[in-house]
Amino acid sequence: MTKIIVALAGDGIGPEIMSAGLQVLATIAKKIGFDYQVKEKAFGGAGIDAVGHPLPTDTLAAAKSADAILLAAIGGPQYDQAPVRPEQGLLAIRKELKLYANIRPVKIFESLAHLSPLKAERIAGVDFVMVRELTGGIYFGDHILEDRKAQDINDYSAEEIERILRRAFEIARGRRKLVTSIDKQNVLATSKLWRKVADQVAKDYPDVTLEHQLVDSAAMLMITRPAHFDVLVTENLFGDILSDEASVLPGTLGVMPSASHSSDGPSLYEPIHGSAPDIAGKGIANPVSMILSVAMMLRESFGEYEAANRIEKAVDKAFKKGILTADLGGKASTQEMTEAIMKQL
């Protein structure tokens, strides 16, 4: 049956990297006989331009009835004063689709290891997954802004913590069986609850080791001994910050994909980075974050493991040939990088 894929290109470099992702999808689909249809919808700043809202009604309806959603990036300085900002559209679609589990893999391509700002011996063997809680915490508590006072409420229920912890343990079972739960339990009540629930959930996974780490020292360890980690699990805000930090390991945000899952409905796949307004429109954005998000979609939504592996290998091979975009010190344009990857497919 034809799979319906909703594509939300968004803003800034969004349309440039979405085009790259869809070209690669078309190439691999032809090779493996994957039958799909893309529905492009307005989202983010593009939604504001089209209908005055970052998450238009028909975009949300299409996303809800899709088999999977691809999202490139949203936001930009021109929308910073909008009554409803693009970022609110992003949070709304995550909440509406109940995408509580955000999976952000961090793996260093062999071909890129020498480009990491970290020493080769630190980078060797780095392969971990960040599991970020995506529909709770301080992002979704009340935000109160007064003239001389402001407040953001961080709240978590035990149920919200438990389901994301279970995801992390399940993922760890298929890997090196180490879960590092990251919190700030020396200060925050939400973190005290987080740690208690983590210890309870761990009892159901005796084959998996659970360790706890405070978020400040975790940020340091991610750079000093990144190869130690297997599965990291943490609340929404810490996960946001730590995953951008993790992009320093491969050397750029431009190679970082993600998957967001609910308990039943369609999953959403997007790079972890933003709309990169500083390079938008120049045709030089790294498309690999989007292309690897397409690979994650093929694997996790459609069970097309072989196709996903082939895309990842093609990216590595293109890098090995020295085809690199500017963020990695190269000269390739977005389209040249994309074509080099399609050639390897």
283 marked as binding residue = yes
CB of 205 to ligand NAD, least distance (A): 31
Nearer to ligand IPM, 111 or 243 (CB): 243
Q: Does 15 bind ligand NAD (CB under 6 A)?
A: no
236 marked as binding residue = no
Nearer to Mn ion, 235 or 240 (CB): 240
Residue of 115, 171, 279, 314 interacting with ligand NAD (CB under 6 A):
279
Angle 345-340-267 (CA atoms, 0-180°, nearest 5)?
60
Contact of residue 275 among ligand NAD, ligand IPM, Mn ion, none (CB under 5-8 Å per partner type):
ligand NAD
Q: Does 240 bind Mn ion (CB under 5 A)?
A: yes
Q: Does 240 bind ligand IPM (CB under 6 A)?
A: yes
Residue of 87, 133, 336, 339 interacting with ligand IPM (CB under 6 A):
87
Nearer to ligand NAD, 197 or 332 (CB): 332
Question: What SS3 string covers the chain?
Answer: CCEEEEEEEECCCHHHHHHHHHHHHHHHHHHHCCCEEEEECCCCHHHHHHHCCCCCHHHHHHHHCCCEEEEEECCCHHHCCCCCCHHHHHHHHHHHCCCCEEEEEEECCHHHHHHCCCCHHHHCCCEEEEEEECCCHHHCCCEEECCCCEEECCCCCHHHHHHHHHHHHHHHHCCCCEEEEEECCCCCHHHHHHHHHHHHHHCCCCCCEEEEEEHHHHHHHHHHCHHHCCEEEECHHHHHHHHHHHCCCCCCHHHCCCEEECCCCCEEECCCCCCCCCCCCCCCCCCHHHHHHHHHHHHHCCCCHHHHHHHHHHHHHHHHCCCCEHHHCCCECHHHHHHHHHHHC
Contact string (CB under 6 A) for ligand NAD, positions 207-246, x = contact = ----------------------------------------
Nearer to ligand IPM, 16 or 304 (CB): 16
293 marked as binding residue = no
Residue of 18, 66, 71, 90 interacting with ligand IPM (CB under 6 A):
90
By CB under 6 A, the residues from 315 to 344 that bind ligand IPM are none
CB of 79 to ligand IPM, least distance (A): 11
Nearer to ligand IPM, 32 or 153 (CB): 153
Tell me which amino acid residue 331 is.
K
286 marked as binding residue = yes
Q: How far apart are CA 234 and CA 168, in angstroms?
A: 9
CB of 334 to Mn ion, least distance (A): 21
Residues that bind ligand NAD (CB under 6 A): 13, 17, 73-76, 87, 90, 253-254, 270, 273-279, 285-286, 289, 327
Residues that bind ligand IPM (CB under 6 A): 75, 87, 90-91, 240, 272, 274
